[in-house]
Structure 1
Amino acid sequence: MQAIRGMNDILPDAVHWWQMVERTAREVLELYGYREIRTPVVEKLELFARSIGESTDIVEKEMYAFADRKGQWLALRPEATASVVRAFIEHNLQADPLARKFYTIGPMFRHERPQKGRYRQFHQIDAEVFGIDDPLLDAEVMIMLCDFFQRLGLEGVGLHINSLGCPKCRPLFRDDLKQFLHQRASQLCPDCDRRRHVNPLRVFDCKVDRCREALAGAPELVRYLCDECARHFEKVQAYLAGLGVAFTVDPRMVRGLDYYMRTTFEVVTDRLGAQNAVGGGGRYNGLMRDLGGPDLPGIGFAIGMERLILLLQQGHHLAAGSPHVFMAVLGEKPVLEAFRAVQALRGAGIAVEMAYGGGSLKSQMRRADKLAAAHVVILGEEELAKGVAVVRNMKEKSQAEVPLSDLVEFFKGHILAARGQTPGFGPTPSK
């Protein structure tokens, strides 16, 4: 048996990258006042059809949809925003003064052709804010995203922004764009030839070279903005510039989902080929109302974790976590005392592994070496009789006898003080 194509195992040798990214995301998001929410991976199909838009590729071709035993149509979630909005409405979180900023981390599902950093089961870090219609928040959300990438040490990325206007100013742009695309219909790929009728903005998101060439001279939405949308976008840019955040106004950037309006943004890289966005989002005022909730504005973003980790791994090494201590036991009599010592060390926050089933000292030392343990505690019958253990420093190749009753304090003093932190199996990034 093998895993389904495009749905990958994350093995222990790689999972420490994921843990580091998730830990950093939680630290940054909670610093900015976001609270975690967890929603089901299965929702009613109607939720995504209404929120994402029935004419999008996701709803038309990419969703994992199925009928349950009662004939109700369900879907594996292709994105997180609709689920978070649904939960906000269902649980009346509008009444909670703290319920304005949310984040969630987890798997999403789309049935598309797997490629580098883009899979059928993929993972996102998703952030959403409800009830605040202020260009200052738009800027803060993007600054937070840049802050997150900076803390990860991510290089070679840039922030691109655009405005998608609103229901007042977008119709005229759509009409002019449709007319422009009609004149170049013969140059478009089959997908874009269909999109120009039902969802013409999505043509800008096509990666096919001939479609990109056909769009030369196409109308730009930023030139059609109404006065209110133009002022909003100008303020967003002023706030970003005021904090020294570098950005590029990309008039051809669109989002793949129908609910976006006004500010939209992406963090892009030149290191992943045509699929160059590692994170993006924007404002979606009106989505909550359309899903039957209060008429509250919203803004949010999603970060593709697979792509982000691919970028982080380029030219970098992240050491997997190793135990601080390996307990080597010689003979039957010391086993119980060694087990007590192991549990006492773990109780003090010190990561320990031990040899199960015994074995020669040589074989146990090989095991400690493979685990890259910093210290080995050797306890045999002779040491047990003396009430001591031999502690070997694997890096310095030195050793000393330590009373069994002092083992915890010994390692607390040597390991914790040396590292200046609470130990564990967490990774330490290094170039």
Structure 2
Amino acid sequence: MTAQFQAPRGIPDYIPPSSSRFVAVRDELTRAARLAGYAHIELPIFEDTALFARGVGESTDVVSKEMYTFADRGDRSVTLRPEGTAGVMRAVLQHGLDRGALPVKLSYAGPFFRYEKPQTGRYRQLQQVGVEAIGVDDPALDAEVIAIADEGFRRCGLTGYRLEITTLGDDTCRPAYREALQAFLFGLDLDDETRRRAEINPLRVLDDKRPEIKAATADAPLMIDFLSDSVRENFESVRGHLDRLGVAYEVNPRLVRGLDYYTKTTFEFVHDGLGAQSGIGGGGRYDGLMSQLGGKQELSGIGFGLGVDRTVLALEAEEVADLGAARCQVYGVPMGAAALDRLVVLAGELRAQGVSTDLAYGGRGLKGAMKGADRSGARFALVLGDRELDAGQIEVKDLADGSQRTVALDAVVADVAAALHG
């Protein structure tokens, strides 16, 4: 007997009816970005491995442990994309977008890949929506990016999340902080791997999720206590813009994102209904990334990545029931072959008017077809048989209140569309 194939471990399928919620979440998060003028960019699924090693940071878990890296048939090392920012910056440089109007505002959506232990909310193929605003270092732009993410979550119906923000400084204050943090860390009894991480990028140690490391670093110096005047002023300006936009937030001075390129404004959206995998999205500003990737000029940028999968789980935790529910509005019930021929045409005309329409196929009887109409969630059922065809009429049944009326066949499209849209 042939073995039954299954999806690879940690790679979810999106199937009806739950797939409708996934699509609705992705579309709402993307819509919030489009309304703010972010144009779509479609990124390659895999890129040169060096792009991520250089851009994301070799000291990160993403690069050192989690990337899907392999040699192609030309013996080139390529990697399935683990995140979006490095690829966007590569595309901006390759196509000269940085030489046009600034900021370059781009949004993207799709799958990203990380080799992790599969569990609820943590998949090896994860779905994200992201934005990047490149070329302008302005606190108002930082606030806009954060507000877009907040608006996207609210459009989905989420309410039980919180926004945490901090600043990770810049070259005016990070050297002094790095020195103080390393002095603290080297005084601890660290394992060899963690000590090497502290030598390369000590902030990575503060991002370690192991309980023993979290306890050992509880009293570590904080970046927010080492800020230069310019960075502190920048952070206060970002907070002021968020206040005026009505975006609620908490300052979390211990917040550390898992990628090396973040500087200054850094943020994360957290939902406590998800347990250990509580992050539903986050991002920050990245200074210096363009030069690391070979850019001839240094342009700052800010962006985010929002988890579509985790947002769906958060909606389920909040028991938000209606988002993405199948919205068939009209269901055709044909009684005979001639009636089916006519309803197929009517369905096309209704769809052209923006009315979601389905039909009972397969020659089902009236009782079975009406059960299908009820299951579809449609507002109206259009019942058509030979007698109605001969009279040039059709029965329109309101499935919400059970009422029924007779409408002329050549008027039913306008009649139903007006009832639904009026």
1:93-108 residue pairs with structure 2 within 5 A? 93-97=97-101, 100-108=104-112
Aligned mate of 1:338, from 343, 364, 379: 343
1:12 counterpart SS class: coil
CA contact (8 A) 2:59 2:204 kept: no
1:139 — aligned with what?
143
**Distance in 2 separating the partners of 1:279 and 1:349:** 33
Q: Which amino acid aligns with 2:13?
A: D
Query: Which of 112, 122, 129 is the equivalent residue of 2:116?
Result: 112
CA-to-partner distance for each residue in 1:278-321, whole Å, 9 max, x for gaps?
A: 11111111111211123111111111111111111222212622
- Pick closer, same or farther for the CA change 1:243–1:360 going to 2, 3 Å: closer
Worse-superposed segment, 230-239 or 63-72: 230-239
Q: What is the CA–CA distance in structure 2 between the aligned matches of 1:329 and 1:70, rounded to whole Å?
A: 57
Deviates more, 1:110-119 or 1:20-29: 20-29
> Match for 1:55: what amino acid?
S
Q: Per-residue CA shift, 1:175-213, capped at 9, x if unaligned? A: 222221222225x6x753442233221121122222121
What amino acid sits opposite 1:300 in the alignment? G
SS in 1 for 2:274: coil
Partner residue in 1 for 2:413: 408
Corresponding residue number in structure 2 for 1:58: 62
> How far apart are the structure 2 equivalents of 1:257 and 1:140?
21
* Matched-pair contact (CA < 8 Å) for 2:30–2:109: no
> Which residue in the other structure is 1:423 paired with?
none
CA RMSD of aligned residues (A): 1.9
Q: What letter corresponds to residue 375 of structure 2 in structure 1?
A: K
Correspondent of 1:349 among 343, 349, 354? 354
- Could you tell me whether the CA contact under 8 Å between 2:263 and 2:284 is conserved in 1? yes
**Aligned residue runs from structure 1 range 235-274, under 5 A:** 235-274=237-276
Q: How does 1:271-420 map to 2 (within 5 A)?
A: 271-293=273-295, 294-314=297-317, 315-318=319-322, 320-417=325-422
Asked if the contact 2:142/2:238 (under 8 Å) is kept, the reply is: yes
Q: SS at 1:413's partner residue?
A: helix
Aligned to 1:195: 197
Amino acid at match of 1:305: V
Q: Is the 8 A contact 1:163 1:222 kept in 2?
A: yes
Closer/same/farther in 2, CA of residues 344 and 249 from structure 1, 3 Å limit: closer
Q: What SS class does the counterpart of residue 34 from structure 2 fall into?
A: helix
Contact 1:390–1:401 under 8 Å retained in 2: yes
Aligned to 1:80: 84
Alignment-derived partner of residue 28 in structure 1:
32
Q: TM-score, normalised by structure 2?
A: 0.93
Superposed CA deviations along residues 369-406 of structure 1, whole A, max 9, x for unmatched, are: 22222222222112111111122222222222211111
Q: TM-score, normalised by structure 1?
A: 0.91
* 3-state SS in 2 of match to 1:33: coil
Structure 1 residue 139, shift from structure 2 partner: 2.2
Q: Distance in 2 between matches of 1:333 and 1:35?
A: 47
Q: Which amino acid aligns with 2:299?
A: L
* 1:123-202 map, 5 Å: 123-186=127-190, 192-202=194-204
The amino acid that maps onto 1:59 is: V
Please state how far the C-alpha of 1:349 moved relative to its aligned partner: 2.3
| Cα distance in structure 1, aligned partners of 2:167 and 2:338 | 73
Does structure 1 retain, via aligned residues, the 8 Å contact 2:180–2:221?
yes
Q: Distance in 2 between matches of 1:260 and 1:330?
A: 64
Q: Percent identity?
A: 42
Change (3 A) 1:322 1:133: closer
Determine the C-alpha separation between the residues in 2 that align with 1:385 and 1:150.
51
Q: 1:278 to 1:408 in 2, by over 3 A?
A: same
Task: Give, as a single letter, the amino acid of the residue that structure 1 aligns with 2:76.
Answer: Q
- Any conservation in 2 of the 1:278–1:308 contact (CA below 8 Å)? yes
How far apart, CA to CA, are the structure 1 residues paired with 2:128 and 2:76?
A: 27
CA offsets per residue over residues 313-334 of structure 1, 9 Å max, x none?
A: 2222126223222222222333
How big is the shift at 1:96? 3.0
Question: What runs of 5+ residues in structure 1 fail to find an aligned partner?
Answer: 418-431
CA contact (8 A) 1:207 1:274 kept: no
Give me the whole-angstrom Cα distance separating, in 2, the residues matched to 1:140 and 1:370: 42
Q: Encode CA deviations 1:125-178: one digit per residue, 9 max, x unaligned.
A: 111111111222222222332232233332222221111112342222222222
Matched, 1:91 2:57: no
Change (3 A) 1:54 1:243: same
Query: Aligned with 1:123: secondary structure?
Result: strand
| Worse-superposed segment, 359-368 or 33-42 | 359-368
Q: Secondary structure at the match of 2:281?
A: strand
Deviation at 1:243, TM superposition (A): 4.2
8 Å contact from structure 1 (residues 93, 99) kept in 2: no
Deviates more, 1:277-286 or 1:166-175: 166-175
Q: Which amino acid aligns with 2:134?
A: F
Amino acid at match of 1:198: I
